[in-house]
A and B are shown apart, each in its own frame.
Chain A
Amino acid sequence: MSVLIFIDAAEGQVKKSSLEAMTYGAKIAEQLNVAAEGVVLGNVTEDLAALGKYGVKKIHQVSNDELKNLDAQVYANVIAQVAEASGATVIVFSNSMDGKAIAPRLSARMKAGLVAGAVALPDTSNGFTVKKSVFSGKAFANISVATPVKIISLSPNAYKTVAGEGTAEVVAFAATVDAPKVKVTSVNKASGEVPLTEAEIVVSAGRGLKGPENWGMVEELAKLLHAATACSRPVADADWRPHNEHVGQTGFAIAPNLYIAIGISGAIQDLAGVNRSKVIVVINKDPEAPFFKAADYGIVGDAFEVVPKLIESIKKLKGVA
């Protein structure tokens, strides 16, 4: 028996969200007193054995050129084969974009109950119940799963990666791999930038910044903090910023360690995307802005004065000129 963790290594590199999934899955394996194993699809350049430090004892690698790009149908089929062979009773994904494509298919294929967007370890004291975020971060639901195999996809940034000691045994797994029906023709990735959904720190700005020409200071602050940039919906709608920065009810839901909101009023639909952030800082000139109610730290002031000072102060802290 095992807990099987899907290790997403698109483009040859293991994603940060998969490190979280491994740490989380290894902890469940400990709870259930079974082995933690991983599955990697595709030709990966990274040293897989070293992933043992996140608690996985064994990694099944399926190397096949057909797995170069994601076709959820092909991936789910292969993962099901590995799950069966390793006797998995729990399968863990990150609730990343790829996880959202694969986990539901696998759930239907294996008739394995799925908890999508888990935020905590399962409670195994009485059955198997997992807490997940619902109502766009405004509440949690405890979902009970009674099927023999259970699938959990873990919310990004919900479980802290812990690196310990150990190496994993890497074994080649011979799977039947179908030809993909989805053909990826191009991948467009902003290289060097921190992906928004994986970022530890996010600097976000709203209509209070008046226009796209004023985003220089937001980008500078983000760069200094190795943060991703985000924005409110009207900002994306007005094309001041790209759509993939839009957070909220109808954009991305994120849960970084630190979220800095500049010139954003904090409408309920906007908060829905960011309310699971651990620490929220709000900079707004209106002391009545609703965002202050959701904030941990705040400055009532003009962003055009406060943000440059904040940049200087962080430079001092980090010792950069």
Chain B
Amino acid sequence: MKILVCISKTPDTTAKIAFTDNNTKFDESGVQWIINPYDEWYALVRAIELKEADASTVINLVTVAGADADPIIRKALALGGDEAIRVNANSHDSFYIASQIADVAKQGGYDLILTGKETIDYNGSSIGGMVAELLDQPFISLAAKLELAGTKATLTREIEGGEEVCEADLPLVVSAQKGMAEARIPNMRGIMAARTKPLKVVEPVAADSLTTVAGFDLPPAKAGVKLVDPENVDELVRLLHEEAKAI
């Protein structure tokens, strides 16, 4: 069994979101970078669990990023995974990134490709589906459970107001979300081992970008909270009904 886990570097969840260059660039000054939580907590940890259940499993990590992502990949390798591949390119276009991952996937011949359900910066939820299409493989989005029996996968997928259980044969692309696994912390042994695990850097293949980021905006500041006396809850209901027209 060969598993490819897609890893993305994202700003820490508490990072201050600001922009420079006339609102065209994310202001990276002082920003701490982390592994995208969905990639780490759900996709990667589930892959590690599958390897724990079947020691012959090989886990490769892939990221499409510049060298500044290397510490993040090492951190992912510290959690688990046998080797990492970094496609040396910087892009914000999902199709370009998916094309690079699909190329790595084709060469590696993976049984299972796992991504997080979305990145917490661009919130695109797009890479998994695009990779699946480029590889002509089935795609299960927003999976909260994944079990394997031989070449058959059984998954639980989130749907509006509930969930559905489905089955598909490998190879398969899955985007992972909460429920898939429990977050782990790398231990000392993992951190030491990660230093010597292979991190292969490959150059990108030619691929199109379908979109560009023209600029960013910040939401308008809130006007400030209107506080209502706890002894006068009727006033809150009146405001919600008459002023906000929300109930």
A-to-B contact residues, CB < 8 Å: 10, 15, 17, 69, 71-73, 76, 95-98, 100-109, 111-117, 129, 131-147, 181-190, 193-198, 201, 225, 243-244, 246, 249-251, 253, 257-258, 268-269, 272, 275, 278-279, 281-282, 292-302, 305-306, 309-310, 312-314, 316-317
Tell me the chain B residues, 94-152 only, with Cβ under 8 Å from chain A: 94-95, 98, 120-130, 132-134, 136-142, 144
Cross-chain contact A143 with B213 (CB below 8 angstroms): yes
Identify the stretch in B58-66, B156-164, B189-197, B198-206 within 8 Å (CB) of chain A at 4 or more residues.
B156-164
Cross-chain contact B179 with A243 (CB below 8 angstroms): yes
Residues from chain B with Cβ under 8 Å of A107 in the complex: 94-95, 126, 129-130, 210
Cross-chain contact B128 with A113 (CB below 8 angstroms): no
- Name B247's contact: one of A135, A184, A268, A314 (CB within 8 Å): A314
Instruction: Tell me the bound Cα distance from A278 to B130 in angstroms.
Output: 32
Cross-chain contact A184 with B160 (CB below 8 angstroms): no
A selection of 28 A-B contacts at a CB cut-off of 8 Å is A71-B138, A97-B142, A100-B125, A101-B140, A103-B129, A104-B94, A104-B127, A104-B130, A108-B129, A111-B210, A134-B123, A135-B17, A140-B217, A142-B214, A188-B165, A201-B247, A249-B120, A253-B123, A258-B240, A279-B240, A294-B222, A295-B222, A295-B225, A297-B225, A297-B240, A298-B225, A310-B237, A317-B237
Residues from chain B with Cβ under 8 Å of A300 in the complex: 227, 230
Residue of B nearest to A276 (CB): B219
Instruction: Tell me the bound Cα distance from A295 to B236 in angstroms.
Output: 13
Looking at B157, B164, B166, B246, the one whose CB has the most chain A CB atoms below 10 A away is: B246
Residue of A nearest to B164 (CB): A187
CB distance from A128 to the nearest CB of B (A): 10
Residues from chain B with Cβ under 8 Å of A314 in the complex: 237, 247
- Name A281's contact: one of B134, B136, B163, B240 (CB within 8 Å): B240
Residue of A nearest to B141 (CB): A101
Cross-chain contact B162 with A189 (CB below 8 angstroms): yes
Number of interface residues of B (CB under 8 A): 78
- Name A108's contact: one of B98, B122, B161 (CB within 8 Å): B98
CB distance from A238 to the nearest CB of B (A): 13
Residues from chain A with Cβ under 8 Å of B95 in the complex: 107-108, 111, 113-114
Cross-chain contact A69 with B124 (CB below 8 angstroms): no
Cross-chain contact B237 with A135 (CB below 8 angstroms): no
Cross-chain contact A142 with B215 (CB below 8 angstroms): yes
Cross-chain contact B222 with A249 (CB below 8 angstroms): no
On whether A105 and B164 interact (CB within 8 A), knowing A114-B210, A278-B246, A317-B237, the answer reads: no
Cross-chain contact B123 with A113 (CB below 8 angstroms): no
Residues from chain A with Cβ under 8 Å of B138 in the complex: 71-73, 181-182
Cross-chain contact B130 with A246 (CB below 8 angstroms): no
